[in-house]
Amino acid sequence: MDRVGVVIVGSGQGGAQVAASLRDEGYLEPILLVGEEQELPYQRPPLSKGYLTGKTPTQELALRSEGFYSSRAISLLIGQRGLRIDRAANQLVLESGRTVGYEHLVLATGARPRSLVVPGAELENVMSLRTYTDALAIHDRLQTARNVVVVGAGFIGLEVAVVANAMGRDVHVIEFADRALKRAVSREVGGFLVEALARRGAKFSFSTGISSLIGHNGKVAAILTSAGTTIAADLVVVGVGVQPNAELASEAGLKVDEGIVVDAQLRTSDPLISAIGDCARFPANFCSNLVRLESVQNAVDQARFVAMRLTKKIAADVKYDKLPWFWSDQGEYRLQIAGVCSSDDDVVIRGDISKGKFSVLRFRGESLTAVESINSAADHMAARKLLAEGASVSRSLAADASQKLSTIVHTS
Amino acid sequence: MPQITYVQPSGVRRSIPVAPGATVMLTAVANDIAGIVAECGGAAMCATCHVYVDEKCLSLLPPVSEVENEMLDSAASGRRENSRLACQIAMPAGVEEIVVHIPATQN
C-alpha cells in the first residue's frame, strides 16, 4: 500500500487548488490528486460560455500545465475514481483496487446535474452540461441543431440559451418556477436578462413543467409541456440544478445532508477528512442554515483555507468566512453578484435599468446582504469590499448612482 | 521570436517566446509564472492577474476597456498609470517584447 500525506478526491477547480495551495504554504509530504475525468484539471465556467461559442479553444481550459504538477511533486491520478474510504485504516480504496493511506483526506467531489425524470429523458440529443465531454457534445450538436429547447432558466440554462440564440438557433426556455434565476437573483435582474434575450428572439415559458420528451428514431424530436403544448426540439439542454457527489462520504458513515456536512473549519464529522466546494455544506455567517455554494470563488477560497489549516498557517479555531461572489456572461451583459441574500430581501435599484448598466442592492432591515450588478464592475468590486467588511450602507445614498458605491459608507 | 518578459517583485526575470495574439495571462499560466492568479480564467471578473506594464511597452498595447478600467480600480496591489489586467492584453503583431512587472499580491 502507498502512503501519502494528503489525498484529494476530485480534480476540479477546488481539488487542484488544494494541491497547489498546500505547496504554496510549504507542505512537504507527498500529495495525491485523484480525479474521475480524463483531462488535466480544467476550468468549468467557459464550458457554458466561450467554449460553446468556439471563442475559448480547448487548450485554454486547463487550469495549469502538466509540468506544474510534476514540478511540485503533486501526483495526478486522472481517469480514476475513489471507490471507498476505510476510515479505520485511514485509507482510500481506488477503483483499480489500489489502496492509498492518508494522513488527511480532502473530498472535493463536486456535483452532478440532475436529470429530468420524465418519459423520453434517455433520448439522444437530450443533454446536461457539467464536464468538458458534455460541452464538446453540445457544441457539436449546436452546429446543426435548429430548434433548441433549454429546460431550466438558471445560470447554465440561460448561458446556453444566449449562445444558441447568438448562433441563430430557435431557442425556447422552459422553466418550472415563475421567473428566471429565482434562487440566485432579484426579479429585476432576472427579468432584465430574460427581456434582453427575448428581444433577440428567444422564447420563454415560465411556470411550466415537462411532461415528456417525444422521440423519432431514438432522437428527441419534441417536448410536451405540462401545459399540453408540443414544442419542436432537435436539441434539449437540461439545466435543472445539481446534486452533490456525497456517496463516498455517506458510505463511509460521514454526516451527509444534501451535501457533505462540515464545520466552520470545513472538517467533516471525521476530523481527518475535510470537504470543500460544490459537495460541501458549511455554516456561514450570512445564513442560519448550512449552505452549499456552486462557484469558482467558493471552491478556490475553501481550498486555500484547508491548505492553510493543514499547514497550521491559521489557528485551529479560525472559521472559514470568505464573501461569496459569482459571475455569469449573458451575451453583451455581465452579471456579477457579491454576497448571498434571501429571496425576500428588499430591493434598491442603483443606476438605470433601461440603459443596461445598473446594480440591485439587497437589504434585510438595515443590513446590505448582496449586490447584483449588470455591466457595473465598479459597483461589484466595491460591494465585495463593503460586504466583506460588514460596512453599514444607507439605502438612499446607495441608490444614488452619481456617487461611487465605495464612497458612501456610513461612518457613524 | 517575440517574447513576453515577466519580472517578479524580487527582480527575477523570465522571458517566454510567444506568437502574436498570445495573452499575457494565459502565457503566464501555461509556463508556471508565479504571481498571476487569474482566478476567473480570463473573464475580467476577478482582477487577480493585475500587472504593471513596463513604460516603454505601454503605448504598444490597445487601450483599457471600460470593464477593465472598473476592475483595475479594485486590484489588491494599488493601481498605477501602467496597470493592466494580463487577461486583457495580447501580444500585438510586429512587437518584439512586452515586459510586465508582477505586483506583490493579487488577493
User: For strand A273-275 and strand A147-151, is the pairing parallel, antiparallel, or unpaired?
Assistant: unpaired
* Nearest chain B residue to A384, by CA: B74
Q: How far apart are CA A274 and CA A10, in angstroms?
A: 12
For the segment A343-383, what is each residue's pLDDT rounded down to a tens digit? 999 999 999 999 999 999 999 999 999 999 999 999 999 99
Three-state DSSP class for residue B64: coil
Which of B16, B18, B74 is the best mutation test for A, with the most CBs of A within 10 A?
A: B74
Of A94, A234, A249, nearest in space to A169 by CA: A234
Each residue of B23-71: pLDDT tens digit? 999 999 999 999 999 999 999 999 999 999 999 999 999 999 999 999 9
**Furthest C-alpha separation in chain A:** 70
Let me know: does A106 contact A4? Beta carbons within 8 Å: no
The set of cell numbers assigned to A81 is 475514481
The interface pTM score, or ipTM, of the predicted complex is 0.92
Quick one: which H or E segment has residue A160? helix A155-166
CB atoms B73 and A381 under 8 Å: yes
d(CA A397, CA A169): 43
Which of A17, A23, A43, A323 is the best substitution to test chain B (most B C-beta atoms within 10 A)? Answer: A43
Type of residue numbered A156:
I
Buried b (16+ CB within 10 A) or exposed e, B46-70: bbbbbbbbbeebeebbeebeebbeb
Other beta carbons less than 10 A from residue A387's beta carbon: 22
Spell out which residues of chain A touch residue B74, defining contact as CB-CB under 8 Å.
Answer: 378, 381-382, 384-385
Of B43, B71, B74, the CB nearest to A329: B43
Q: Do A71 and B32 touch (CB under 8 A)?
A: yes
Nearest CA in chain A to B67: A377
CATH number of B3-101: 3.10.20.30
What are the beta bridge partners of residue A215?
Answer: A220
d(CA A369, CA A392): 10
Residue of A nearest to B68 (CA): A377
Q: pLDDT band for A23, please (50, 70, 90 cuts).
A: very high
Residue from B16, B26, B40, B66 whose CB has the most chain A CBs within 10 Å, to mutate: B40
Q: Are A381 and B70 within 8 A, CB to CB? A: yes
Work out the pLDDT band at A410, boundaries 50, 70, 90: low
pLDDT for A137:
96
Portion of chain A with pLDDT greater than 90, in percent: 91
pTM: 0.96
Which pLDDT does position A20 carry in this prediction? 97
Q: Which residue in B has a C-alpha nearest to residue A383's C-alpha?
A: B74
* pLDDT tier for residue A56 given thresholds of 50, 70 and 90: confident
pLDDT band at residue A411 using 50, 70 and 90 as cut-offs: very low
Task: Name the residue of chain B whose CA is nearest to A298's CA.
Answer: B39
Residue among B29, B30, B70 whose CB faces A378 most closely = B70
Q: Which of B41, B42, B74 sits opposite A381 (nearest CB)?
A: B74
**Do A311 and A26 form a contact (C-beta atoms < 8 A)?**
yes
Which residues of chain A neighbour B41 with C-beta distances below 8 Å? Answer: 43, 45-46, 63, 296
Tell me the domains of chain A and their CATH numbers.
2-112+243-310 (3.50.50.60), 115-240 (3.50.50.60), 332-407 (3.30.390.30)
- Nearest chain B CA: its distance from A31 CA (Å): 19
Q: Across residues A259-271, what is the average pLDDT?
A: 98
Whether residue B2 lies within 8 A of chain A, CB to CB, comes out as no
Closest partner CB to A46 (pick from B30, B41, B67): B41
Instruction: Calculate how close chain B gets to A338, using CA atoms only, in Å.
Output: 12
The answer to whether B41 faces chain A, any CB pair under 8 Å, is: yes
Question: Among residues A157, A186, A183, A192, which one has the least CA distance to residue A172?
Answer: A157
Select from A68, A296, A377 the Cβ nearest to the Cβ of B32.
A68
B64 in contact with chain A, both atoms CB, cutoff 8 A:
no
For residue B95, pLDDT over 90 is answered with yes
Task: Write the single-letter amino acid at A278.
Answer: D
Give A213→chain B minimum CA distance, Å. 36
**Domains of chain B, residue spans:** 3-101
Decide if B41 and A329 are in contact by the 8 Å CB cutoff.
no
d(CA A129, CA A115): 11
Contact B31 A65 (CB under 8 A): yes
pLDDT score of A109 more than 80: yes
- pLDDT tens string A159-186: 999 999 999 999 999 999 999 999 899 9
Q: How many CA atoms lie within 13 A of A247 on its CB side?
A: 8
